[in-house]
Chains A and B, each alone.
Chain A
Amino acid sequence: MRSDVLIIGGGIQGCATAYQLALRGVSVTVLEKDWVSRHASGVNAGGVRLLGRHLSEVELSKASMALWPDLDDELDADTGFSCRSLINIAADETDMEILHGRQQQMHQRGLHHEVIIDQKELRERLPHVADFCVGGVVSETDGYAIPYKTTLAFRNAAARQGARFVEGVTATGIRKVGDSWLVSSEDAEFEGEYLINCAGAWADKIAVMIGDNVPLSYSAPMLMITTRMPHFATPVVGAVSRPLSFKQFENGTVLIGGGAKGFADRDANRTRLDYAKLAGGAKNAIDFFPIMKSASINRMWAGLEAYMPDNLPVIGKAVNADKAFHVFGFSAHGFQMGPIVGQVMADLVTEGSSSFDLQAFRIDRFERKVL
């Protein structure tokens, strides 16, 4: 069966792209080797974050943030999105200096969504924060959503528009014959005019089959969640220079992240946790919020995530093939960008270009010109 577009990878980028294309009347087939939202898209921390974005990501992230509040209506589903604000805490004056430096850069570009707050305001917003914390920076639009629900919401909305999802199918071979991309699996072949690689931690393999090399690595960022606690934190919390990240959900459970990585075995679809590193995360959480001392950890886990050397994603056209695109390598901060990335990809396919500057996300940005 032939579709206009074949998408490889049923994570949030693949599902959002499928949705946007289907909306425009394009026929889409999504091939997923496990099941939709099985990996990073389904088990990440759910952060919907504009704060602290790399400068080349800010415009995309801002545009995506504008979509989040209406996403439930748009997709006719419950993504669990909650706008809570996000505060990155400054632990000392050095952190404050870093914040002021960043603010200068942002203001020069006319960006004013990150606002520095002093110690007094920090305590008003986070009454349980430790005494040593001197201030921070806040982005009011930020919050969280439930990753599995969000990804599934895109998938279901896409399916309602006619997109086809084929799960449990691994792409083992990719060829271009005439005007067609032919993607074969163990017992089937799929055909499309366009091909989009949204394969996350496996995207380098797909890229190679398309004809593009990419220095992707993969890892297993770890998370832990507590049992229900009395409500003590409304904003989502991060730290300027320490690996701390947590959010308290409406039901009282607290999700603790911070980017510590476990070990990934991507061929076996498995991750292994590094408990000593998780212990470090536990210590940070308690240091910043002493109320966490008595918390009970209910679950710990990790997802398989793709990283690029500069922690920026690949978004754009393939270099060595026509009518092929790449969207992957979000380096543990792609969830928030899902909604806008879908639009960008649909633009690239149907219009041939995007209104966003995608220079920083080229797949060949690591190619060395001269040896």
Chain B
Amino acid sequence: MQTSFDIAIIGAGPAGMSAAITAAETGASVVVLDDKPKAGGQIYRNVADSPLQDPNLLGEDYLQGKALLERFENSPVERIQGATVWHLGDNGEVLFSKDQQTCSLTARELMLSCGAMERPFPIPGWHLPGVMSAGSAQVMLKSDALVMDGAIFAGTGPLLYLIVAQYLRLGVKVKALVDTTSKSGYIQAASHFGGALSGLPMIQKGLTLLAEIKRAGVPVYRFAESLSVQGEEKVTALQFNCGKQQHLLETEHLFLHQGVIPNLNMTRSLGLEHRWCEQQLCWKPDLNEWGQSSIDSISVAGDCSGIVGADGSQMMGKMVALNQLYRLGLIDREQRDQQAVSSRKQLSRLNSFRRFIDTLYRPIDQHRIPSQADTVICRCEEQNLEQLQQGFAQGARGPNELKGLTRCGMGPCQGRQCGHTVSELLAQWRGERVEEVGYYRLRSPMRLLNLTELSRFNRISAANPPEKKVLAGERR
């Protein structure tokens, strides 16, 4: 296999697949690295070989991915599945683990499409065993047909409703849906209704899901606040308020979800410029209209550029690929602009609908910025709010200083679970904007790396990747 390419794409979700298809069509040499056994990303996980008897129960949107996946698998692209990228260099170097071996390749252009992750839900007791994210419920369902009977689902956002509906269609009992979507979310969202009209079919989908859940007889608690997980060794109950009414629901399984945020570890480790997005309450890499980052040869597409959804990711992947083809001299400016027209139009339509979603399902402050002293912030190093406050009092004003003093963010997740919380907390304590506070300075390896594997790595021999793949098409 060759070890240098025109374009290396990290992540084979909707953005990565669509970029790969576009780029390969025009004759660029493309490699796609993906950490899962099969392409599809989180959204289209196992779409072509679902373990479920009737994958139709997962819904139309899910099955839509099949067509994209097929096109991807038929395009002349080097696909490396099961590859954990642990280092990306601003010089186009890619180091990745596959079959316990470190391999390297280089590319003129890098495209990051490593998707989103669920927003942390730092409420009292969220670290207890038995508390999982709704996303992990979906992963278990899509890849292993595993479900939890009698669980409570709590939080806000379309994905939460979707997984509850999917559970119900499979005949799994759901104890309750505790909906934290706020009244002010509804009021604010109404003012964005103009934007939402263009996405009317999608609103319809959301409403249908909610109706389906109610019809199935699942108790739905709306406008829930002050969530707190009860239990000593593991979760025993969820406590929350609806208005002045306090509720306590017993459960052994609790799934939390309050939207998704970009998966930042790669863009951060690369040292790309980022900015804080108030609409989506998350950090985003700073990109131009073609997804190009502060380093020209590195572009970002899909949810890791800011949440755009599966369809938006697909559009963006195409646009980024067109721009990279232009940069590589394989198409001219006019071709790029012209071929991007319809994707750009659709993307902008989707984005105005996204504003509506972001406003409606905006996670409330108290579920993002903890106020109880013993609420765990950093799960890896078990640092709670009080310990961080002490670090701040000792003079650690930024995330990196706080990390040095308290170990918050030093564990194996590299701050994925606490980074946003820490940025927002410090902004609150300093009385400044999140933008001024910043984020952790991240480093490779982006994933845990086995010492033996690293010890065998040397630049010269590591250029031989583990397996040879037959290309599905012609290469220029």
Residue tally, chain B, CB below 8 Å to A: 31
Distance between Cα atoms of A294 and B450 in the complex (Å) = 7
Find out whether the CB atom of A300 lies under 8 angstroms from the CB atom of B404.
Answer: no
What is the minimal beta-carbon distance from A239 to any residue of chain B, in angstroms? 16
Contact residues, B443-476 vs A (CB, 8 A): 443-445, 448-452, 454-459
Find out whether the CB atom of A301 lies under 8 angstroms from the CB atom of B395.
Answer: no
Find out whether the CB atom of A296 lies under 8 angstroms from the CB atom of B455.
Answer: no
Q: Contacts A227-B448, A279-B455, A299-B414 hold; do A149 and B404 have CB atoms under 8 A apart?
A: yes
Find out whether the CB atom of B456 lies under 8 angstroms from the CB atom of A294.
Answer: no
What is the minimal beta-carbon distance from B238 to any residue of chain A, in angstroms? 31
Interface 9-mer from A179-187, A268-276, A320-328: A268-276
Q: Contacts A42-B404, A301-B443 hold; do A35 and B450 have CB atoms under 8 A apart?
A: no
What is the minimal beta-carbon distance from B399 to any residue of chain A, in angstroms? 12
Find out whether the CB atom of B395 lies under 8 angstroms from the CB atom of A156.
Answer: yes
Find out whether the CB atom of B450 lies under 8 angstroms from the CB atom of A296.
Answer: yes
Find out whether the CB atom of B455 lies under 8 angstroms from the CB atom of A297.
Answer: no
Chain B residue at smallest Cβ distance from A295: B451
Residues of B close to A300: CB separation below 8 A:
443-445
Find out whether the CB atom of A285 lies under 8 angstroms from the CB atom of B451.
Answer: yes
Residues of B close to A170: CB separation below 8 A:
none
Find out whether the CB atom of A275 lies under 8 angstroms from the CB atom of B404.
Answer: no
Residues of A close to B396: CB separation below 8 A:
152
What is the minimal beta-carbon distance from B463 to any residue of chain A, in angstroms? 12
Residues of A close to B271: CB separation below 8 A:
270
Contact residues, A81-109 vs B (CB, 8 A): none
Chain A residue at smallest Cβ distance from B453: A282
Q: Contacts A156-B394, A226-B451, A296-B451 hold; do A275 and B412 have CB atoms under 8 A apart?
A: no
Q: Which of B404, B452, B456 is the most central at the interface, judged by chain A CB atoms within 10 Å of its CB? A: B404
Find out whether the CB atom of B404 lies under 8 angstroms from the CB atom of A297.
Answer: no
Task: Point out the residue from B89, B397, B405, B457 that lies within 8 Å of A148, measured CB to CB.
Answer: B405
B410 within 8 A of A: yes
Q: Contacts A155-B395, A276-B457 hold; do A292 and B443 have CB atoms under 8 A apart?
A: no
Q: Contacts A148-B405, A155-B395, A297-B451 hold; do A273 and B444 have CB atoms under 8 A apart?
A: yes
B95 within 8 A of A: yes
B51 within 8 A of A: no
Contact residues, A199-231 vs B (CB, 8 A): 226-227
Contact residues, B383-428 vs A (CB, 8 A): 394-398, 401, 404-405, 410-412, 414
Distance between Cα atoms of A176 and B445 in the complex (Å) = 47
Residues of A close to B454: CB separation below 8 A:
275, 278-279, 282, 297
What is the minimal beta-carbon distance from A80 to any residue of chain B, in angstroms? 10
Q: Contacts A152-B395, A279-B458 hold; do A293 and B452 have CB atoms under 8 A apart?
A: yes
Task: Point out the residue from B95, B414, B450 that lies within 8 Å of A275, measured CB to CB.
Answer: B95
Task: Point out the residue from A35, A152, A272, A280 that lies within 8 Å of B394, measured CB to CB.
Answer: A152
Find out whether the CB atom of A294 lies under 8 angstroms from the CB atom of B443.
Answer: no
B119 within 8 A of A: no
Chain B binding surface SS class: loop
Q: Which of A36, A280, A298 is the most central at the interface, judged by chain B CB atoms within 10 Å of its CB? A: A298
Distance between Cα atoms of A292 and B450 in the complex (Å) = 10
A141 within 8 A of B: no
What is the minimal beta-carbon distance from A152 to any residue of chain B, in angstroms? 6
Distance between Cα atoms of A36 and B395 in the complex (Å) = 10
Distance between Cα atoms of A224 and B448 in the complex (Å) = 11
B87 within 8 A of A: yes
Distance between Cα atoms of A226 and B455 in the complex (Å) = 14
A113 within 8 A of B: no
Distance between Cα atoms of A282 and B451 in the complex (Å) = 6
Residues of A close to B412: CB separation below 8 A:
227, 296, 298
Find out whether the CB atom of B404 lies under 8 angstroms from the CB atom of A298.
Answer: no
Find out whether the CB atom of B448 lies under 8 angstroms from the CB atom of A297.
Answer: yes
Residues of A close to B455: CB separation below 8 A:
279-280, 282-283, 285-286
Contact residues, A154-191 vs B (CB, 8 A): 155-156
Residues of B close to A279: CB separation below 8 A:
102, 454-458
Q: Which of A270, A293, A294, A300 is the most central at the interface, judged by chain B CB atoms within 10 Å of its CB? A: A300
Find out whether the CB atom of B404 lies under 8 angstroms from the CB atom of A286.
Answer: no
Q: Contacts A149-B404, A152-B405, A156-B395 hold; do A286 and B410 have CB atoms under 8 A apart?
A: no
Distance between Cα atoms of A280 and B457 in the complex (Å) = 8
Residues of B close to A36: CB separation below 8 A:
395
Residue tally, chain A, CB below 8 Å to B: 35
Find out whether the CB atom of A295 lies under 8 angstroms from the CB atom of B411.
Answer: no
A37 within 8 A of B: yes
Chain B residue at smallest Cβ distance from A226: B451
Chain A residue at smallest Cβ distance from B404: A148
Distance between Cα atoms of A335 and B398 in the complex (Å) = 23
Distance between Cα atoms of A275 and B104 in the complex (Å) = 11
Distance between Cα atoms of A297 and B445 in the complex (Å) = 8
Chain A residue at smallest Cβ distance from B454: A282
Find out whether the CB atom of B404 lies under 8 angstroms from the CB atom of A299.
Answer: no
Residues of B close to A282: CB separation below 8 A:
451-452, 454-455
What is the minimal beta-carbon distance from B415 to any residue of chain A, in angstroms? 10
Find out whether the CB atom of B448 lies under 8 angstroms from the CB atom of A275.
Answer: no
Residues of B close to A276: CB separation below 8 A:
457-459
Distance between Cα atoms of A43 and B403 in the complex (Å) = 11
Distance between Cα atoms of A15 and B366 in the complex (Å) = 39
Q: Which of B95, B394, B410, B449 is the most central at the interface, judged by chain A CB atoms within 10 Å of its CB? A: B449
Find out whether the CB atom of B414 lies under 8 angstroms from the CB atom of A35.
Answer: no
Distance between Cα atoms of A226 and B397 in the complex (Å) = 27
Find out whether the CB atom of B443 lies under 8 angstroms from the CB atom of A299.
Answer: yes
Distance between Cα atoms of A295 and B454 in the complex (Å) = 10
Distance between Cα atoms of A270 and B90 in the complex (Å) = 13
Distance between Cα atoms of A227 and B410 in the complex (Å) = 10
What is the minimal beta-carbon distance from B368 to any residue of chain A, in angstroms? 26
Task: Point out the residue from A148, A280, A293, A296 that lies within 8 Å of B448, measured CB to CB.
Answer: A296
What is the minimal beta-carbon distance from B404 to any residue of chain A, in angstroms? 3
Query: B169-210 interface mask toward A, CB cutoff 8 Å, 1 = contact, 0 = none?
Result: 000000000000000000000000000000000000000000
Query: B117-148 interface mask toward A, CB cutoff 8 Å, 1 = contact, 0 = none?
Result: 00000000000000000000000000000000
What is the minimal beta-carbon distance from B167 to any residue of chain A, in angstroms? 34
What is the minimal beta-carbon distance from A44 to any residue of chain B, in angstroms? 12
Find out whether the CB atom of A294 lies under 8 angstroms from the CB atom of B452.
Answer: yes
Find out whether the CB atom of A275 lies under 8 angstroms from the CB atom of B87.
Answer: yes
Distance between Cα atoms of A270 and B394 in the complex (Å) = 26
Residues of A within 8 A of B (CB): 35-37, 42-43, 77, 148-149, 152, 155-156, 226-227, 270, 272-273, 275-276, 278-280, 282-283, 285-286, 292-301
| 5 A-B interface contacts by CB (under 8 A) | A152-B405, A155-B395, A286-B452, A298-B448, A299-B414
Residues of B within 8 A of A (CB): 87, 89, 95, 102, 271, 394-398, 401, 404-405, 410-412, 414, 443-445, 448-452, 454-459
Which 5 pairs show the lowest CB-CB distances between chains A and B?
A148-B404, A282-B455, A283-B455, A295-B451, A296-B448
Give 15 A-B pairs besides A148-B405, A276-B459 with Cβ atoms closer than 8 angstroms.
Answer: A43-B404, A152-B394, A152-B396, A227-B411, A270-B271, A275-B444, A275-B459, A279-B454, A282-B454, A285-B451, A286-B455, A295-B450, A296-B450, A298-B448, A299-B443
